[in-house]
């Protein structure tokens, strides 16, 4: 019978070699939580008990001894694996001399398990903790694509909600076997963020009730419904107690022809010059039309890429503006992708995440609006924070944060930099709020697009140049002389 944490420390000083369901961890950080050990151990098997001890030690009990054996074998085969690191600290597991734990039951609030901390029986509904943060770009379509295992497991309903633990979801499968398979394949995986592992438990609910399909709740067993005009926040009740049904009420504001599904925001870009363009150049071009989350270039098709934008409207702007644009000897093809997310993977050199940079032109929540050709693409509208304007590719580029102070010197510098992309028909240097800026007009839109894709965010003389398409007029170069 376990009486105190101090007894655990004394007993486990002699590391055990006999396999046991209980694993003893040494050298864990002082601020380690049950969730940290849960995320580390669950990929190897079902965890039923966790006890945090003093002096950087902890105990984890598996439901079966096979889970503990798998963990120890994995550590022995690769002790330097990042799987055994908590907050940049390497931890050391070994078999405990104990075969059962009677204290340290897993906290319900920390991990969403049953009230008594014991592992629940397999069920056709999974409770998934996706992120500790409530702010995330995860949507129901991406959850469905991941948890259906590319269609091999049949999902009936999904409900997303925010709780104290962060962003969570309830996923109801057609049968228990599909839920078991999904949990086995996805437990501990990092499809949305490389820093957060999926935590998957069996829910004790018997059925999910979705009153209205929305961006937070989806019933795949019912035909699509038209969204209602009222708006209400999604609500979930009794997600971890013994109630048999969870009720969800969530509606979207009505739009003229908006579908009930989450509208697509990932683009498939193809037929670009893969010798000239990479994730950065694609970002420079597509960021003219909205906030970019991630860009991934296909390994097997290097002239194909996925571009994830912040909203469906921004993705539409990009399609209407860039489809058919000629750049670097190719004609861009831009369409919506069947993909609903771009997997984040630190080891993927063909994928770049721009949410952790300050390179985006637009704030994350800003709306974008196409400017009409007759409008003045104003450079002075600094007070518009909620709506940012952009235009389709034009012959003219607006350059800000330029690497010069004197206007005449600026003309010379910019001519040398931009003339490599084609014939310049006009160049105007001016000041706005005492900051030097410029407008450059190329003979062709292709030259302007290539210059923008290449030079936006380039560091020249210590400054990051900002380059955008513009509808402003420029006096032709040959008429600009006194």
For the chain, 482 residues long, give each residue's pLDDT as a single digit of tens: 333 343 343 333 334 578 899 999 999 988 788 888 888 888 888 888 888 887 789 999 988 888 899 899 888 888 888 888 888 889 999 999 888 876 544 443 334 344 344 445 789 999 998 877 655 668 888 888 889 987 889 999 999 988 776 788 999 999 999 999 998 888 877 777 766 778 888 888 899 988 888 888 899 988 765 444 333 334 444 444 433 444 443 333 333 333 344 468 899 999 999 999 999 999 999 999 999 999 999 988 999 999 998 888 889 999 999 999 999 999 999 999 888 778 776 667 888 988 878 899 888 765 555 543 333 344 434 344 334 567 899 999 999 888 776 667 778 888 999 999 999 999 988 888 888 889 999 999 999 999 999 999 998 877 888 999 999 888 665 544 43
DSSP 231-256: -B------SSSS-SEEEE--B----T
Please state the three-class secondary structure of 380-414 as a single string.
CCCCCCCEEEECCCCCEEEEECCCCCCHHHHHHHH
Radius of gyration of the chain measured on its C-alpha atoms? 28
Whether residue 242 is found in the same domain as residue 150: yes
Q: Which residue has the tokens 């410029």?
A: 438
How far is Cα of residue 338 from the mean position of the Cα atoms in its chain?
Answer: 17
Has residue 428 been placed in a domain? Answer: yes
Last residue of some domain: 60, 82, 109? 109
Whether residue 143 is found in the same domain as residue 199: yes
Which tokens go with 272? 């670009």
Has residue 382 been placed in a domain? Answer: no
Say how far apart CA 85 and CA 80 lie, in whole Å. Answer: 8
Whether residue 202 is found in the same domain as residue 303: no
- What is residue 243's predicted lDDT score, i.e. its pLDDT? 39
**Strands, E, within 237-385: which ranges?**
245-248, 266-270, 292-297, 304-309, 326-327, 330-331, 333-336, 351-353, 367-370
Whether residue 341 is found in the same domain as residue 446: no
Whether residue 415 is found in the same domain as residue 445: yes
| CATH number, domain containing residue 235 | 3.30.70.330
- What is residue 389's predicted lDDT score, i.e. its pLDDT? 62
Has residue 168 been placed in a domain? Answer: yes
Has residue 75 been placed in a domain? Answer: yes
130, 200 contact by CB (below 8 A): no
Residue 172 has what DSSP assignment? E
Whether residue 148 is found in the same domain as residue 220: yes
> Phi/psi zone of residue 238: left (φ > 0), alpha (ψ -120 to 50 degrees), beta?
left
Element (H, E) at 5: helix 5-11
Residue 16 has what DSSP assignment? B
Which tokens go with 95? 């078999």
Non-local CB neighbours of 150 within 8 Å, separated by 6+ positions: none
Whether residue 271 is found in the same domain as residue 326: yes
Has residue 385 been placed in a domain? Answer: no
Say how far apart CA 142 and CA 315 lie, in whole Å. Answer: 17
- What is residue 378's predicted lDDT score, i.e. its pLDDT? 40
Last residue of some domain: 213, 248, 283? 248
- What is residue 91's predicted lDDT score, i.e. its pLDDT? 92
Say how far apart CA 229 and CA 246 lie, in whole Å. Answer: 24
455, 418 contact by CB (below 8 A): yes
327, 446 contact by CB (below 8 A): yes
Whether residue 129 is found in the same domain as residue 227: yes
What is the extent of the structural domain holding 418? 393-479
Last residue of some domain: 215, 248, 281? 248
Domain count, the chain: 4
Whether residue 348 is found in the same domain as residue 303: yes
β-bridge partners, 93: 25
191, 169 contact by CB (below 8 A): no
Could you tell me the sign of the dihedral formed by the alpha carbons of 470, 474, 478, 482, in that order?
negative
How far is Cα of residue 105 from the mean position of the Cα atoms in its chain?
Answer: 33
Whether residue 347 is found in the same domain as residue 457: no
Whether residue 204 is found in the same domain as residue 131: yes
Coil, strand or helix: which one is 447? helix
Has residue 258 been placed in a domain? Answer: no
Whether residue 229 is found in the same domain as residue 315: no
Which tokens go with 337? 């992708």
Has residue 384 been placed in a domain? Answer: no
Has residue 377 been placed in a domain? Answer: no
Indicate yes or no: pTM above 0.75: no
Work out the number of other CB atoms within 10 angstroms of the CB of residue 17: 9
β-bridge partners, 85: 90
């Amino acid at each position: 019978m376990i009486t105190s944490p101090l007894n655990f420390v004394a007993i486990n000083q002699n590391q055990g070699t006999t396999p046991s369901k209980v694993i003893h961890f040494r050298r864990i950080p002082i601020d380690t939580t049950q969730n940290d050990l849960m995320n580390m151990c669950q990929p190897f098997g079902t965890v039923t008990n966790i006890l945090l001890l003093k002096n950087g030690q902890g105990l984890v009990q598996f439901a079966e001894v096979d889970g503990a054996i798998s963990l120890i074998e994995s550590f022995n085969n690769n002790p330097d694996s990042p799987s055994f690191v908590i907050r940049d600290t390497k931890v050391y597991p070994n078999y405990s001399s104990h075969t059962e734990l009677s204290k340290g039951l897993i906290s319900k609030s920390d991990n969403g398990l049953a009230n008594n901390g014991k592992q629940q029986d397999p069920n056709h509904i999974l409770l998934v903790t996706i992120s500790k943060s409530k702010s995330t770009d995860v949507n129901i379509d991406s959850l469905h694509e991941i948890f259906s295992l590319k269609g091999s497991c049949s999902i009936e309903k999904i409900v997303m909600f925010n709780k104290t633990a962060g962003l969570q979801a309830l996923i109801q499968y057609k049968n228990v076997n599909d839920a078991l398979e999904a949990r086995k394949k996805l437990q501990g995986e990092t499809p949305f963020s490389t820093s957060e592992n999926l935590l998957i438990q069996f829910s004790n609910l018997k059925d999910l009730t979705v009153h209205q399909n929305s961006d937070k709740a989806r019933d795949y067993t019912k035909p699509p419904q038209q969204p209602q005009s009222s708006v209400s926040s999604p609500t979930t009740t009794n997600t971890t107690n013994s109630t048999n049904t969870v009720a969800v009420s969530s509606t979207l504001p009505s739009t003229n022809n908006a579908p009930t599904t989450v509208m697509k925001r990932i683009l498939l870009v193809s037929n670009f010059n893969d010798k000239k363009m990479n994730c950065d150049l694609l970002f420079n071009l597509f960021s003219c039309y909205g906030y970019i989350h991630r860009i991934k270039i296909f390994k097997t098709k290097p002239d194909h890429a996925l571009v994830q934008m912040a909203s469906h409207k921004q993705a539409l702007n990009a399609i209407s503006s860039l489809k058919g644009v000629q750049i670097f000897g190719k004609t861009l093809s831009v369409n919506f992708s069947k993909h609903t997310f771009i997997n984040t993977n630190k080891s993927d050199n063909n994928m770049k995440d721009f949410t952790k940079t300050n390179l985006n032109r637009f704030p994350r929540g800003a709306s974008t609006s196409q400017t009409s050709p007759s409008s003045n693409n104003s450079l002075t509208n600094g007070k518009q924070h909620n709506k940012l304007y952009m235009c389709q590719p034009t012959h003219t580029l607006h350059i800000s944060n330029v690497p010069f102070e004197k206007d005449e010197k600026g003309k010379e510098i910019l001519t040398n930099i931009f003339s490599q992309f084609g014939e310049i028909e006009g160049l105007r240097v001016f000041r706005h709020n005492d900051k030097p800026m410029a407008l450059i007009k190329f003979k062709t839109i292709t030259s302007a697009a290539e210059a923008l894709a290449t030079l936006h965010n380039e560091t020249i003389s210590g400054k990051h140049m900002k380059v955008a398409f513009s509808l402003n007029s420029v006096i032709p170069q040959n008429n600009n002389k006194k």
